[in-house]
Structure formats: structure tokens, C-alpha cells
Amino acid sequence: MAETPITTPIEKVPQHVAMIMDGNGRWALQRGLPRLAGHKAGTENLRRVIRASVEFGVKYLTIYAFSTENWGRPPEEVKGLMYILEDVIDRELNELHKEGVQLRHIGRLERLAPSLQEKVLDAIDVTKNNDRLILNIAFNYGGRDEIVQAIQRMMKDEVPPEKVTDELVSQYLYTAGVPDPDLIIRTSGELRVSNFLIWQAAYSEWYITPTYWPDFDKEEYRRALESYAHRDRRYGKVSSGELQGSNA
């Protein structure tokens, strides 16, 4: 199907968009297909969403591809998701590099097969000077695990308690130097955080859609960005000119 051309510019594009790509399994189930077929369709969609992000002018895109809890899925699904990561790097790296995408990884690499770890590190190295879009792939990522590791590293560094501030904690996270997500999109209608960027999401705006991830297309992405553009972000304060505000 031909893609709908972008007509009007989006007023206020979020700098950092994070996505919980949920619903691949149900998308497959609806079609009588195995769950992995859903993840494959989800991967195709990811490719479109990355391109759309570049086009919309989003600077940082963080995607939740595999959580620390996903190891509990059936072994063939876990294996399939590992294979997808490998395949995405093999097949897409050149194109992503040409488009100016910088790949980064957040999460624990050490539990992955050594050859996959190497592939991820190579892709990070090849694209490290690109700056059109920073693509953070959360793979074997857990928000609590990230915070626990940050605490452990602060303790190893013998940081005195009075020096522990918001800013310092942020610097010890995988996302050090990356602005907090402005907008988090979750597909498939679930109303959960699922251990994703739990520190960084303190004041993120959410867009939750019933659409399953493989069907989350550029038009709906655009609607999410437009919804964001009309939000009033108060960070617990009140809007300018307003006498009374809500709690957040």
C-alpha cells in the first residue's frame, strides 16, 4: 500500500520517543500464525517506524525489544528473538548507517551469545559518529536492574551519600547523556509500565493505543506525535497564567 504523504508539519516534535512494541503475539494468534511470525511482522514495522522517526525529526528513539523478564518465554521464542536481533543487524546495518542512524544498546549484553555480543558492539562502533537519529535498543533490559546496577556502581565508586542527586543517578544509568523520553508509546492497549525506563519516565507523556505493534503505522505514529504536541507538560507545577493546577 502506498504511504500517505505528510501534509502539515507537526507543531512540537518530541526529542525523545520510547516505544513498548507490544501485541506481536496476539497479532499472530488472530491470524492463526505462530508467535514468531508476529515478531517478524513487528520487525518489518520497526523498520518503517525508524524511517518515519527520521522523517518526523525525532532525535532519540528507544525501543523495548527484549526485557530481563522475557527469558521466561518458551525457549524457541527466546531463540527466535535473539535471531531477529542478529538478522536485523546483518540486514539493516548498512541502510541504517547510510541514513545517519546511530545504534546504541541498553541492558545487559553479557547473557547473549558471544557472537551476538560482538555483532552488537560492532554495529555500535560502525555507527558511533552518526547523529540523525540515536536508536537505543533495549535488549535484555530491565528498569529495576538498571537502577540496581547504578547503585552498585555508585557504591564501588565510593560516592558519598550527600553527593547522590537526581543528576548523578541519571549519569549512572545506561541512558547517561540521553534526555529523558518526552513521549512513550505503548501498543496493544496494556496499561502497564513493564519495567521500562522506570527512572527516566518520571515525567514522560504516554500514548497508549489498542493497535497491535505490527499494525502501528506511520499515520498512527503521526497521530501520537500530534497528541503530544497538544499536551501541557507541567512537571508538577501549574501552567503559566494558571492560578490552580492539578497535582501533576
| 22 among known catalytic residues | yes
**49 forms part of the interface with ligand FPP (CB under 6 A):** no
Q: Is residue 62 near ligand FPP by the rule CB under 6 A?
A: no
* Three-class SS of the chain: CCCCCCCCCCCCCCCEEEEECCCHHHHHHHCCCCHHHHHHHHHHHHHHHHHHHHHHCCCEEEEEEEECCHHHCCHHHHHHHHHHHHHHHHHHHHHHHHCCEEEEEECCCCCCCHHHHHHHHHHHHHCCCCCCEEEEEEEEECHHHHHHHHHHHHHHCCCCHHHCCHHHHHHCCCCCCCCCCCEEEECCCCCCCCCCCCCCCCCCEEEECCCCHHHCCHHHHHHHHHHHHCCCCCCCCCCCCCCCCCCC
State in angstroms the smallest separation of the CB of 50 from ligand FPP.
10
Work out how close the CB of 35 gets to ligand FPP at its nearest, in angstroms, rounded to a whole number.
Answer: 6
Question: Whose CB is nearest to ligand FPP?
Answer: 25
Determine which one of 70, 145, 180, 215 is catalytic: 70
Q: Is 70 a catalytic residue?
A: yes
* Of the candidate residues 13, 16, 39, 49, the single one contacting ligand FPP (CB under 6 A): 39
Task: Map grid coordinates 537505543 to a residue.
Answer: 136
Contact between 96 and 50 under an 8 Å Cβ cutoff? The reply is yes
Tell me if 207 contacts ligand FPP by CB under 6 A. no
CB of 136 to ligand FPP, least distance (A): 11
Specify whether the CB–CB gap between 196 and 18 falls below 8 A.
yes
Q: Which three cell numbers stand for residue 204?
A: 514522560
Least Cβ distance, residue 34 to ligand FPP (angstroms): 11
CB-side neighbour CA atoms (13 Å) of 24 = 21
The nearest distance, CB 159 to ligand FPP, in angstroms, is: 34
Given candidates 16, 17, 19, 22, which one binds ligand FPP under the rule CB under 6 A?
22
Choose between 139 and 228: whose C-beta lies nearer to ligand FPP: 139
| Candidates 23-31, 98-106, 169-177, 203-211; binding stretch for ligand FPP (CB under 6 A) | 23-31
User: Which of 56, 174, 207, 213 lies at the binding interface for ligand FPP (CB under 6 A)?
Assistant: 213
The amino acid occupying position 46 is L
Q: Which x/- pattern over 121-140 shows residues binding ligand FPP (rule: CB under 6 A)? A: ----------------x-x-
Q: Where does this chain touch ligand FPP (CB under 6 A) — which range of 6-14, 35-43, 148-156, 240-248? A: 35-43
CB of 115 to ligand FPP, least distance (A): 15
Rounded distance between C-alpha atoms, residue 167 and residue 150, angstroms: 12
Choice between 33 and 201, CB closer to ligand FPP: 33
Site for ligand FPP in 141-160 (CB under 6 A): none
What amino acid positions are annotated as catalytic residues? 22, 70
